[in-house]
């Protein structure tokens, strides 16, 4: 820190304004847990994208003579095979890919609905706000799982990829409620600020103000919530898989691998341990990253 | 305060009506019904069945009939369990779910609250980091991993506790230990994080500085002054969370083979047992509204700033 100051004195031309985001990045980089999680998330994402392509086995490759063998160097089954004779590394990498995809895609769905809804309710206030938020309250009182089951049966399709799309649409369609509440609160705090008045004075239309001026300013808490929401969605997907509504074969997800593995806990424990540990690492990384982001973006908390 | 509480309960009536309408619309939006998915029955019989349960009427009329029944405390007959009413099914399952939920919440408040306070007093030291790391891991461990693991370790390997079932021969606390523990782990994690944050904030407040300046002994400052303020966020969290855990957990009830309403609910939703789904949703939303009210009342009792003089 001291030589930074010294540098500034030596070369005053280098002085540059620091934006809120610059500050936040600086604080984030000083938080060891967050930096480590950032690397872990990067590795996980790379593994999810390239792992299934690069690994020597495919997820649906079956070896009838190598059923449920423990982790071994023979034939490179580093984490063993499952009760069908499929390589666990391959299945784990693919499951990670689907779980991350569901987590990110459902978060994007939740964000898009929640931010727009919350910002509009908060900005217009009055009756609009009242009606919109009562609607949210009613949806809140309906159990998550019922909502998802109905949405899943609403469009019944045999196509596994389409089904996957449905899963994150369904989860996202439930998760936007909290997002809407957060954004609404932030918007109410912002709507009488000077820059909004300025925009109004320069003739911006209300919706233009909402999306061009309010939304960019509430992104801080939104980003934090989104990061913390990804693990929640991955958990929800694992729950859906557990009750048989999640990802269908030949696709798989971490949740599905865990629920398959928990049935084989006694005779093939590695079938449970691998996806469970992968899931734990994924969730921990996103949680620490989200916490780090929150601390970085909210200086009040420090 | 009593008047306010009554007013809140009155406002709850339209909310519950809105929930009923929303649920009906959702359920009937999906194609098929309770009698189409099962083994092929002749169309005539299917029509008769639908007629018997009033499913051939327009939705608006069905809703009116349902609400009419509800006013008499009648939740209707189950569409899958032919010889039982929804009320009977819920009466069988609800006590188990309620005991588990309350047990898990009490455990979470005691353990999580305690850990959070300890962490707050050791802020940024090893113990604090240890508690917070445990809290994050607690949130991240899904019940469908923890459940089977505890079951295998304490039930099958060590034979300390029964690995499943409830009220099998007699009511015994030891049947509850594992499920309550599994259910409360994520709650403990959340409560300890909330408690730590709010305790740190409370200890920095002017009220605490005043209490210390008066020369009160430290334990009295903590118990009488810091704790009530610090408990506020926990109170607002615990209300809805308690409603959530009390209305049953599918995973816990499946893993430990318990007869709760969580499993019944998921099965009913999958099989389109309209009346049973509606019954459980109603109980859940009723609990949410009730506990939210309870939270608010507790809030007023605890928070010196909202206390009316």
Between positions 251 and 290 of A, the ones with CB within 8 A of B are 255, 258-259, 262, 265-266, 272, 276, 279-280, 283-284, 287-288
- The residue among B99, B87, B181, B105 whose CA lies nearest residue B143 is B181
pLDDT value of position B301: 79
Q: Which residue of A has its CA nearest to B23?
A: A142
Contact B275, B72 (CB under 8 A): no
- Which residue is associated with the tokens 């769905």? A109
Average pLDDT, chain A: 77
B6 alpha carbon, distance to own chain's centre? 23
Cβ contacts of A139 on chain B, cutoff 8 Å: 22
Contacts of A22-29 with CB under 8 Å at 24 or more apart are A23/A299, A24/A220, A24/A293, A24/A296, A24/A297, A25/A296, A27/A295, A27/A296, A27/A299, A27/A302, A28/A292, A28/A293, A28/A296
Q: Which residues pair with A81 in a beta bridge?
A: A87
- Over residues A165-180, the mean pLDDT reads 82
B148 alpha carbon, distance to own chain's centre? 22
pLDDT value of position B162: 67
pLDDT value of position B106: 92
- Over residues A188-202, the mean pLDDT reads 80
Contact A204, A213 (CB under 8 A): yes
Per the structure block, which two tokens stand in for A207? 């919706």
Interface check B32 vs A, CB under 8 A: yes
Bigger pLDDT: A108 vs B72: A108
- Over residues A24-48, the mean pLDDT reads 83
- Residue B77, classed as helix, strand or coil, is strand
A125: left (phi over 0), alpha (psi -120 to 50) or beta: left
DSSP character string of B138-182: HHHS-HHHHHHHHIIIIIIIS-SS--S-SSSSS--THHHHHHHHH
Whether B144 and A243 lie within 8 Å, measured CB to CB: no
pLDDT tens for chain B, 309 residues long, are 778 778 878 877 888 888 888 887 877 776 666 666 556 667 777 777 777 776 767 777 777 777 777 777 777 777 767 777 778 788 887 888 888 889 999 999 999 888 888 888 887 777 888 888 888 777 777 777 777 777 777 766 676 666 666 655 555 667 778 888 888 888 888 888 888 888 888 888 888 888 888 888 888 888 888 888 888 888 888 888 888 888 878 888 887 778 888 888 888 877 777 788 888 888 888 888 888 888 878 877 777 666 554
Between positions 226 and 285 of B, the ones with CB within 8 A of A are 247, 250-251, 254, 265-266, 269-270, 277, 280-281, 284-285
Q: How many residues are present in chain A?
A: 302
Using a pLDDT cut of 90, give the percent of chain A over it: 0
- Over residues A35-59, the mean pLDDT reads 83
Q: Is the pLDDT of residue A299 over 70?
A: no
Q: CA torsion, points A44, A50, A51, A54, in degrees to nearest 10?
A: -160
Residue A213 vs residues A110, A205, A269, B184, B204: alpha-carbon distances, Å: 21, 11, 53, 42, 35
Helices B174-204 + B232-246 axis angle, to 10: 160
Helices A270-297 + A20-29 axis angle, to 10: 130
Shortest distance, CA A276 to any CA of chain B (angstroms)? 7
Q: How far apart are CA B131 and CA B145, in angstroms?
A: 21
Q: Is the pLDDT of residue A156 over 70?
A: no
Nearest to A142 among B22, B32, B251 (CB): B22
- Over residues A131-152, the mean pLDDT reads 78
Bigger pLDDT: A73 vs B138: B138
Bigger pLDDT: B57 vs A253: A253
Interface A:B, Cβ pairs < 8 A: 105
Nearest to B30 among A154, A242, A245 (CB): A154
């Amino acid at each position: 820190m001291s030589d930074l100051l010294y540098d500034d004195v030596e070369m005053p031309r280098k002085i540059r304004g620091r934006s809120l985001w610059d500050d936040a990045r600086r604080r984030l980089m000083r938080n060891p847990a967050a930096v480590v999680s950032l690397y872990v998330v990067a590795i996980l994402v790379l593994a999810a994208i390239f792992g299934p392509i690069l690994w020597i086995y495919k997820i649906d490759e079956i070896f009838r003579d190598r059923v449920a063998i423990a982790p071994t160097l023979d034939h490179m089954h580093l984490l063993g095979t499952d009760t069908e004779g499929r390589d666990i590394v391959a299945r784990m990498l693919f499951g990670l890919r689907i779980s991350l995809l569901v987590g990110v895609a459902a978060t994007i769905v939740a964000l898009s609905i929640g931010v727009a809804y919350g910002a509009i309710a908060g900005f217009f206030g009055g009756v609009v706000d009242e009606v919109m938020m009562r609607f949210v309250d009613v949806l809140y009182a309906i159990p998550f799982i019922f909502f998802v089951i109905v949405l899943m049966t609403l469009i019944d399709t045999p196509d596994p990829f389409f089904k996957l799309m449905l899963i994150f649409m369904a989860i996202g369609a439930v998760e936007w409620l909290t997002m809407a509440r957060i954004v609404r609160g932030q918007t109410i705090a912002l709507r009488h600020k000077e820059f909004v008045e300025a925009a109004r004075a320069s003739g911006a239309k209300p919706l233009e103000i909402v999306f061009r001026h309010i939304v960019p300013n509430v992104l801080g808490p939104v980003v934090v919530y989104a990061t913390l929401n990804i693990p929640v969605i991955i958990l929800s997907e694992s729950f859906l898989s557990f009750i048989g509504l999640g990802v269908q074969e030949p696709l798989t997800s971490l949740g599905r691998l865990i629920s398959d593995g928990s049935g084989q806990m006694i005779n093939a424990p590695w079938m449970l341990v691998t996806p469970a540990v992968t899931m734990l690492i994924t969730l921990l990384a996103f949680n620490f990253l989200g916490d780090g982001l929150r601390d970085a973006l909210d200086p009040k908390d420090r | 305060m009593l008047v306010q509480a009554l007013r809140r309960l009155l406002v709850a009536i339209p909310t519950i009506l809105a929930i009923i309408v929303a649920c009906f619309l959702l359920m009937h939006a999906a194609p098929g019904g309770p009698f189409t998915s099962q083994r092929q029955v002749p169309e005539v019989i299917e029509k008769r069945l639908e007629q018997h349960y009033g499913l051939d009427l327009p939705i608006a009329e069905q809703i009116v009939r349902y609400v009419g029944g509800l006013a008499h405390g009648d939740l209707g007959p189950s569409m899958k369990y032919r010889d039982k009413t929804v009320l009977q099914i819920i009466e069988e399952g609800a006590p188990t779910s309620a005991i588990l939920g309350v047990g898990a919440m009490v455990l979470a408040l005691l353990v999580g609250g305690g850990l959070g306070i300890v962490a707050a007093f050791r802020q940024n030291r090893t113990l604090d980091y240890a508690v917070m790391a445990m809290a994050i891991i607690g949130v991240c461990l899904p019940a469908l991993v923890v459940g089977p693991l505890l079951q295998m370790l304490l039930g099958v390997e060590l034979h300390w506790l029964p690995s499943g079932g409830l009220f099998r021969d007699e009511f015994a606390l030891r049947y509850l230990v594992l499920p309550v523990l599994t259910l409360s782990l994520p709650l403990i994690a959340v409560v300890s994080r909330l408690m730590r944050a709010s305790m740190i904030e409370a200890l920095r407040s002017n009220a605490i500085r005043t209490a210390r300046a008066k020369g009160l002994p430290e334990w009295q400052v903590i118990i009488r002054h810091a704790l009530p303020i610090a408990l506020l966020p926990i109170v607002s969290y615990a209300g809805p969370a308690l409603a959530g855990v009390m209305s049953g957990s599918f995973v816990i009830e499946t893993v430990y083979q318990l007869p709760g309403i969580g499993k019944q609910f998921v099965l009913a939703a999958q099989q389109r047992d309209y009346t049973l789904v509606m019954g459980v949703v109603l109980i859940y939303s009723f609990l949410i509204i009730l506990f939210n009210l309870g939270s608010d009342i507790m809030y007023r009792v605890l928070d010196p700033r909202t206390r009316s003089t």
